[in-house]
Amino acid sequence: MRRSVHGFTIWLIVACGAGQASSLSAQDSSLAGGGGDASILRSRAPGRASTQNDSAALRTAERSAAAGVFLRLTESPTTSSHRVAVGSHGGYDGRRQGALFDMRGEVVLLSRAGLERRSAIGLSLLGGGLYAAGSPGVSEAASGRVGVKVQPVFQEQLGFDAALSVTYESRGFNTVPAVTTELLLARRMGDTQLLLNAGYGAGLRESERFGRMRAAILVPLVAQLHLGLEARGQLDLERDENEPTGETDYECAASAFVSYTISHFALSAGVGPGAIRYRNGLDTQVGVVATVGIGAAL
């Protein structure tokens, strides 16, 4: 009897141990299965992230257009909406009774966002050119520009964007080569973007000087479509009898415009009044300026 009881006890212990072992084995299998699902999720997650990154890249032109990068008369301070941006406008200038063409480009070297390496400030290289056909009695004008832009203040920090640009112009407002220093400001209020530029140009010959003010407002109708107004005024600040031939006394222009972005590209059109007065005694030339433009951003 004792032997049978002892044998039953041993059998019970072995059976319980086997049951616990099988239970632990089942738990390990379920954990392994869960780990497999997690690995599948992890393998899928990068795909979703890359898709989101690709979608963000396709919206680059949209963000740049919303920041005012493709405007004709005004310049945006931002260095965070693009890596490279180029834009050109062509049309008819009724003030000069001739064709008008200008081009602007920017390459961002440092930025708080949009680049693999982040920086506390934004830094970019600027370039561009302008051609304006001459009307009877007014010579044609052609110039190129190159410079740098530094953005130390961002909307996320102080509620507005601010940058300083310094550019060399082969033909400045006073018709002589000039260096222009300009303060670029922007503030985003909801979906509305406001821009303001204030600049001072110093001619490299004949002590010429000029001032410049520019402003714009941008309002989106939908994500890809923007409407806005922009204006520019320039004034000769050096007054004497020794003036360059064909020098402008003042120039002003305003434009209502619309822009639409498709992937990396932006299409725009603008029309508005303008006026030019020359220092040689000619009457003020007034007319309508109408342009179309195309831009691209990466």
- 208-234 pLDDT, tens digit per residue, is 999 999 999 999 998 799 999 999 999
CATH classification code of 60-297: 2.40.160.40
Mean of the per-residue pLDDT values for the chain? 82
Q: With 80 as the cut, is the pLDDT of residue 30 above it?
A: no
The closest of 182, 152, 153 to 167, measured between CA atoms, is: 182
Tokens of 236: 């000769």
Given this model, what pLDDT does residue 281 score? 67
The one-letter code for the residue type at 213 is M
The closest of 294, 268, 262 to 59, measured between CA atoms, is: 262
At 239, the pLDDT band (50, 70, 90 cuts) reads: confident
Grouping H, G, I as helix, E, B as strand and the rest as coil, residue 73 is coil
Given this model, what pLDDT does residue 137 score? 66
Q: 22-36, 103-117, 178-192: which has the highest mean pLDDT?
A: 178-192
For the chain, percent of residues with pLDDT exceeding 70: 78
Return the exposure string of 66-94: e unless at least 16 CB atoms fall within 10 Å of the residue's CB, then b. Answer: bbbbbbbbbbbbbbbbbbebbbbbebbbb
Alpha-carbon torsion, ordered 154, 259, 94, 245, to 10 deg: 30
At 207, the pLDDT band (50, 70, 90 cuts) reads: confident
| CB-CB contact of 236 with 173 (8 Å) | yes
pTM of the model: 0.79
| CB-CB contact of 101 with 88 (8 Å) | yes
The closest of 130, 195, 191 to 163, measured between CA atoms, is: 195
The one-letter code for the residue type at 280 is N
